[in-house]
Structure 1
Amino acid sequence: MYPVVNLGLLFTELPWRRRFAAAAETGFDRVEFPWPPLPPDEVTGLVRAAGVQVALLNMDAGDLAAGQRGYSNDPRRTARWRDDLRRAVELARDIGCPLVNVLAGRRLPELDERDQLSCLTDNLRWAADLAEAAGLKLVVEPINDHDIPGYLLPRVSDVIALLDQVGRPVVELQLDAYHVAAMGDDVTKTVAAAAGVLGHVQIADFPGRHEPGTGALDVDALLAALGAAGYDGGLALEYVPTLPSAASLRAVAARYPRLGPIR
C-alpha cells in the first residue's frame, strides 16, 4: 500500500497549475484528482514536470460545486457520457494513470430507478472494453446520501451488487472510508466484505472529513483490515485540511507513517 494525495481537496490554497509540484515538494510522489479545469495536454505537462505519478483520476462528473456527481445513469446523455469517458481514458493513458473513477450520479426523479441502473450497467460494460484495450481499470465509488442526497449508490453493498451485474473484472470498487462511516456502516467489516473487488481506497476521518486522527475513524484498524483483505493499492488522503495543506500532510505522516511519504 502507498500514500496518494488528492488534489481536489488538498492544496486548494494554490491554483491548479501549482498543486502537482506542491505535492511533490511535500514529499509525495503519487497524486489523484477529479476531472481538472485545465486542458488535458496541460495536465500531462504539469504531471511530467512535477515528476509525480497519477494513481487515479475522475472522469468528468459535471459541476461538483453545484452538487452534480456524474450522469452515467441518464440514458438521455449516454452519447455525451461516452465521449467524456473516452477523454478520461485518453488522459489516463497519456499520463500513465492506471485507474479512472466513474461516479454513478444522483437519482433522476423523472426516470424509473431500474432504468437508471440498467443505463449505468450498460455504460460500464461498454467502458470496460475501452479501458481494457488501454490497459486500465475503472472504479465505481459509493457516496453517502447524507452529504449528497439522492446519490444512486450510497453504500459499498450497492456498488458490489452493481459489479456483479456488470460482470467485468476491469471494473472494481473505490472505497472511501469517510462515506462508509457516514452511512453508519462498520468500516473494517465493509473492507472485509469488499476484499475481492477493492480497486482503490480513500481516507478521511468521520465526522468532519478532516485529517485522519481528528475523528472516530480507527485508522490502524482500517489499515490492518486492508492488509488482511490482500489490498496493495493506494491509500488516498482525500480530506478537508484544518491546516495549510503541506503542514496538514506532515502532521498526518507523523501520526501515521504509512500515510506519509515513502523516502
Structure 2
Amino acid sequence: MPELPEVETVRRGLEPHLQGAKLSQVRLHRPNLRYPFPERFVERLEGAEVLRLERRAKYLLFYLDTQDIWVTHLGMTGRFQATRPEMNDSPEDLARYYHAVAPDEKHLHFQCLATLPNGEVSRIDYYDPRRFGFMLLLKPDELYESKWFRGLGVEPLSDELNAGVLLKMVGGRNINLKALLMAQGHEKRGGIAGLGNIYVCEALWRARLNPDHKASALTRKEAGALVEGIKTVLEEAVASGGSSISDFAAASGELGYFQHRFCVYDRKGQPCPRQDGGLIERKVHQGRSSFYCPVCQK
C-alpha cells in the first residue's frame, strides 16, 4: 500500500498539472471503487478550479473553488497519471486525444482534462487494479468530522511532532512501539498520522529501538531519537520519490528508488548495515511483518 512518502510524491507530481487548473471532460468508467463515487461526482467536478493540493496522512486533498474538497485515498494499487500532449492541439484535437489514449484501459476508472491559466492541458487518469482506493467530495466543515479524518494524529513531518508530544502519547500505554506508531492516532491520547509498516520499521532501526519496546518505558532521549528517525526516513523517502514496490509509480509514471536504501525492511537474514554482527530478523505484529536488528535495537 502506498505510504505517506508515496502519497506526498503523487501530490507533488500532480501539483504542476492541477493547481490553478479548470477541470473538464470528467469521465467515470465504473460506478464505484471501494465505495460508490459521490452523488453527482462528475457534475460537481466539471468546470471546477483546483485551488490547491494538500496531503493529510495518506489522503490527497484537492481544494476546489466550489467549496468542495475532492479527497482521494489510493488504497493498495491506486495510481494517478498526468500526461500532456507535446503539440499545440486545437480543442477538437485535444478531445480526440483524451478519448483515444487510454493505456491499461481495463483498470482505468477515472479521467478528466485539467487546463491551466496559460492554456496548457493535461489528461489526468486514475488506475486501480484492485479497487481498494476511493474518492470523496466533502465540504470544509465536514472534513474533520468525517470518519476518515476524525481523530487523526499529528503529521509526522510537521513541527507538531516532537519528543514531548510523543511522550504524552505513550504515557502509561501498555502497548509496544510498533503498535503505537501504526495506530494513526484515533485513540483518545492521540498518535501519529500516516505512518505505515515500511517506514515504521526503518524509523525504529534508526532510533535503535526494538519494535517490542514498551511504549510506557520510553525515555525522553529515546523519544527524541525516535522522532528524529521518523522525520529523517520520511524526508529521505520523499526526496527519493518513495518506494516503488508493488504497483506504485509517481504521477509522471516514474518509479521511486527508496527501496534500494532500506536498512531493515524485507532484509531478513542479511547483515545489519551497522556491521554490529546482527542479522536482520522478522517478526509479526498485528498481522504485519516487522524487520529489525536484535543487536542494535533494544
Common fold by TM > 0.5? no
More strand by share: 2
What range describes the TM-score normalised by the shorter chain of this pair?
A: 0.3 to 0.5
More helix by share: 1
